[in-house]
Amino acid sequence: MVCSLAYSLGLVLCFSETVLSAEATSRAKVDDRPHVQLAGLLDKLMDPKSKESKILQGVGSILGSATEIDYPSERTIGESLALEGFRRYGMPVKDRKVQEYVNLVGNAVARNSLRPGIPYNFVVIESPLQNAFSCPGGIIFVSSGLLRTIQSEGQLAGILAHEVAHVGHKHALQSIQRARFFQGVGKITSANMKGEKGKEFEDMIGGLQNTLFDKGLDQNMEFEADVSAMETAYRTGYDPEGLMEVLKALVKIEAGSTKKGSWFSTHPPLKERIQKCRTQLSRYPDAKKLARLPERYREYRKHVVD
């Protein structure tokens, strides 16, 4: 692997914030071998001053079901899951133009979403899978495979708005709480992270990853994100039918594509989603007058096709 997972995440955060003229985030290289990463992570979790130890703060806040998870904790959980996203699905596409373009479109819809005030980072990863997913706190991935299927900027906006909606509704955090990964564990501190407790912590992180990357979110959450995505795209000035068009395109290539990690394996049946989107679309009689921008999209898509 050319660059480490942590370096890639730092690079994405830095690049995205540079696009938005925000302060760049720091980057650090680590050994990307899983067993070395895990040992290093546990060591850093013991250090209350390390960034990694903040993961415990987020986990600790989840233990109290009546306690709202604050944004710094949410973001820390999201960053830890984003590292796993790179490991499973691929590294960022190196072309700066396509990364910048996706960030601009993504942040345009994010400003009209349920949570416009938090920072969003969008990253295109090199993967043949038809996939997009979001991590808590606003880190959103879209695969080059899905970009090759998308045909217009309006469609891209719909897909990104769907993932932004998951962040807006805090769906991943709700899933974590509902799954009760932390029930019976007790208070997590750096002192009890050794031995058996360390193994419990590893199991917890594995549970989070399973929900986000393997099992997928609750079907009702996916339907809710579809409806919110269409509304957000509409408010941003895009034809809200874009999301439904992508779903229709995916139906045609769904057969034999249930590989773990694709939308086909972690999302509700496409035809059911399309029907619900069609019902929602009836709320926008002027949809066809709004932006689709296929030519501009194709100009950027060639950077991941060639």
Whether the predicted pLDDT of 30 surpasses 60: no
* Letter string b/e over residues 88-116, b meaning 16 or more CB atoms within 10 A of that residue's CB: bbbbbbebeebbbbbbebbbbbbebbeee
Say what the pLDDT of residue 184 is. 47
When pLDDT is cut at 50, 70 and 90, the band that residue 268 belongs to is confident
Say what the pLDDT of residue 1 is. 46
Burial (CB < 10 A; 0-12, 13-18, 19+), residue 201, is: buried
When pLDDT is cut at 50, 70 and 90, the band that residue 62 belongs to is very low
More confident residue, 129 or 194: 129
Are the C-beta atoms of residues 95 and 220 closer than 8 Å to each other?
A: no
More confident residue, 254 or 248: 248
* Mean of pLDDT values over 31-40: 37
Say what the pLDDT of residue 132 is. 94
Are the C-beta atoms of residues 218 and 225 closer than 8 Å to each other?
A: no
When pLDDT is cut at 50, 70 and 90, the band that residue 73 belongs to is confident
- Helix, strand, coil in percent for the chain, rounding step 5: 60, 5, 35
Distance CA 47, CA 227 (A): 43
**Number of residues written out for the chain:** 306
Look up residue 208 and give its two tokens. Answer: 């989070």
Look up residue 44 and give its two tokens. Answer: 């850093």
Say what the pLDDT of residue 280 is. 98
Q: Supply the DSSP string of 141-195, one letter for each residue.
A: EEEHHHHHH--SHHHHHHHHHHHHHHHHHTHHHHHHHHHTTTTTT----GGG-SH
Q: What is the pLDDT of residues 121-166, one digit of tens each?
A: 999 999 999 999 999 999 999 999 999 999 999 999 999 999 999 9
Whether the predicted pLDDT of 52 surpasses 70: no
Q: What is the mean pLDDT of the chain?
A: 77
Nearest 5°: phi and psi at 92?
Answer: -65, 140
More confident residue, 251 or 279: 279
Whether the predicted pLDDT of 285 surpasses 80: yes
Q: Which amino acid is at 279?
A: T
Look up residue 229 and give its two tokens. Answer: 């995505």
Distance CA 299, CA 236 (A): 21
More confident residue, 37 or 205: 205
Query: What is the Cβ-side half-sphere exposure of residue 59, based on CA atoms within 13 angstroms?
Result: 26
Predicted TM-score (pTM) above 0.85: no
Whether the predicted pLDDT of 92 surpasses 80: yes
When pLDDT is cut at 50, 70 and 90, the band that residue 264 belongs to is low
Q: What is the pLDDT of residues 205-249, one digit of tens each?
A: 667 777 778 778 889 999 999 999 999 999 999 999 999 999 999
3-state secondary structure of 31: coil
More confident residue, 23 or 85: 85
Share above pLDDT 70 across residues of the chain, in percent, rounded to a whole number: 62
